[in-house]
Structure formats: C-alpha cells, structure tokens
Amino acid sequence: MKKVGVNIMYDDEKLNAIRLYMSQRDLDFKVELEKSVDALYAKYVPANVREFIDMKDSQVKTPKPKKPKPQEENTEVVT
C-alpha cells in the first residue's frame, strides 16, 4: 500500500519533551505515532471497510506468475 506523509502543527517545547522522555524509555516517536494513527483507524473506520482495504492490499502484494517466454528457434543461415 502506498504511504503518504502527514503534517501537523504542535508546540515545539512539548514535542521536545515527548522525544526526550520517550528516548529515556528507548521508544521511537515515529513508531508510537504510527501506532496512535492505527488506533484511530481501527476506532473510526468500519470493520467491513478495513476488511475491504486489507483484501485489496493483499491482492496488490501477490505477484502474478510470469508467463514463460517462447523459445526462439535456432535459425542459422548456412551459405
């Protein structure tokens, strides 16, 4: 599934404090933020829509088998 960026405005001092205290617990801000967005997704998007999106995503990730190329005939020109 294609990923997109999300930008929000947040107080600089509060953000620095979050990062400081998270780093003391060996937590990654980005990972925790993604978990929070996933929780919002699970909370607000109906289950049938989530299932449909998951189904679409799994179809995109499944590579289609490649057809074998036809073998070229050995055509030597003898003169």
Distances (CA, A) of 26 to 12, 15, 18, 29, 31: 21, 16, 12, 10, 11
Q: Are 37 and 3 in contact (CB under 8 A)?
A: no
pTM of the model: 0.68
Decide which of 68 and 18 is more confident: 18
Q: Would you say the C-alpha torsion 51, 57, 62, 64 has a positive or negative sign?
A: positive
Neighbouring C-alpha atoms within 13 Å toward the C-beta of 79: 0
What are the pLDDT digits (tens) for 6-62?
Answer: 999 999 999 999 999 999 999 999 999 999 999 999 999 999 999 999 999 888 765
How many other CB atoms are there within 10 angstroms of residue 23's CB atom? 11
Instruction: With a cut of 70, say whether residue 71 has pLDDT above it.
Output: no
Residue 38 has a pLDDT of: 97
Decide which of 68 and 10 is more confident: 10
